[in-house]
């Protein structure tokens, strides 16, 4: 009888240990509570992957950055300005406006016709509210407390990046760009910089605090020709 009690007790302990390990493994695969995108919490079909829509965003931003190469005048800048006017309906835009890049990318792809065209701050505020379409997050704990007000997450290729803090003398301090993923150990982005350069490829995340990830897994269906 004593041996039977030991056997039963050991079996119960083994079952509990196995259950705890299995549960921890599931949480690890899902990315934890701070990984609030569609693929890392509850939907393992896209965990660690880049969706069709995300890849399209990254490719479009990369293409624009490589075409414009930071130029503020000349054929490259003029072609970009014409592109913004055609797609966004904004005449004589400042090619160094960072918000135009994000808006141009999203509108050219067609994934969000309601995407704001003006101001990095306005863009992020809109995406923050529309949590049925976008997963918004902070890039670090400091950013979380300074204005992003979202759990910390790591950026994935195709995410929209923002800084939304202003200053007493400059309310246009917000910044916008597109995350292109890693190149070696470096974070790669496409971004413009007000009064400095038009869209170009850059490295590092020092200028960003918040992120927004489109939850849609695929691109919209092509519209039939009129």
Span 180-207, pLDDT tens digits:
999 999 999 999 999 999 999 999 998 8
pLDDT of residue 21: 41
pLDDT of residue 44: 38
Q: Identify the H or E element spanning 5.
A: helix 2-30
Better pLDDT: 144 or 33: 144
Retrieve residue 115's tokens: 């995407």
pLDDT of residue 38: 46
Could you read off the pLDDT of 73-121 as tens digits, one per residue?
999 999 999 999 999 999 989 999 999 999 999 999 999 999 999 889 8
Better pLDDT: 102 or 170: 102
CB 191 within 8 A of CB 175: yes
Share of the chain above pLDDT 90, in %: 56
Enumerate residues 6+ apart whose C-beta is below 8 A from 91.
Answer: 85
Residue spans of alpha helices (H) in 138-220: 141-143
pLDDT of residue 220: 79
The pTM assigned to this predicted structure is: 0.76
pLDDT of residue 27: 35
Q: What does the DSSP 8-state code read for residue 152?
A: B
Average of per-residue pLDDT values in the chain? 80
Three-state DSSP class for residue 181: strand
For residues 166-192, give the mean pLDDT: 81
Could you read off the pLDDT of 109-145 as tens digits, one per residue?
999 999 999 889 889 989 999 999 999 999 988 877 7
Q: Where are the domains of the chain?
A: 1-29, 31-214
Enumerate residues 6+ apart whose C-beta is below 8 A from 197.
Answer: 70, 71, 72, 96
Q: Burial letters for 115-136: b for 16+ Cβ neighbours within 10 Å, e otherwise?
A: bbbebbbebbbbbbeeeebbbb
Confidence of residue 49 (pLDDT cuts 50, 70, 90): confident
pLDDT of residue 217: 81
User: Left, alpha or beta for 63 (phi > 0: left; psi -120 to 50: alpha)?
Assistant: alpha
For residues 42-71, give the mean pLDDT: 83
């Amino acid at each position: 009888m004593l041996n039977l009690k030991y056997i039963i007790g050991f079996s119960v302990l083994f079952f509990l240990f196995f259950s705890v390990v299995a549960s921890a493994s599931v949480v690890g695969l899902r990315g934890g509570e701070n990984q609030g995108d569609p693929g890392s919490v509850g939907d393992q079909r896209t965990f660690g992957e880049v969706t069709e829509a995300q890849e399209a965003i990254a490719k479009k931003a990369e293409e624009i950055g490589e075409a414009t190469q930071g130029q503020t005048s000349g054929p490259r800048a003029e072609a970009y300005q014409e592109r913004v006017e055609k797609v966004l309906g904004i005449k004589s835009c400042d090619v160094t406006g960072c918000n135009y890049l994000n808006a141009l990318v999203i509108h050219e792809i067609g994934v969000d016709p309601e995407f704001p065209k003006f101001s990095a701050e306005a863009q992020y505020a809109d995406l923050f509210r529309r949590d049925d379409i976008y997963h918004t997050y902070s890039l670090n704990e400091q950013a979380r407390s300074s204005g992003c007000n979202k759990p910390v997450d790591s950026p994935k290729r195709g995410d929209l990046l923002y800084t939304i803090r202003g200053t007493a003398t400059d309310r246009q301090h917000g910044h916008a760009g597109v995350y292109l993923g890693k190149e070696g150990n470096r974070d790669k982005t496409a971004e413009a910089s007000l009064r400095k350069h038009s869209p170009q490829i850059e490295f590092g995340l020092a200028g960003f605090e918040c992120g927004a990830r489109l939850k849609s897994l695929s691109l919209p269906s092509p519209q039939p020709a009129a």
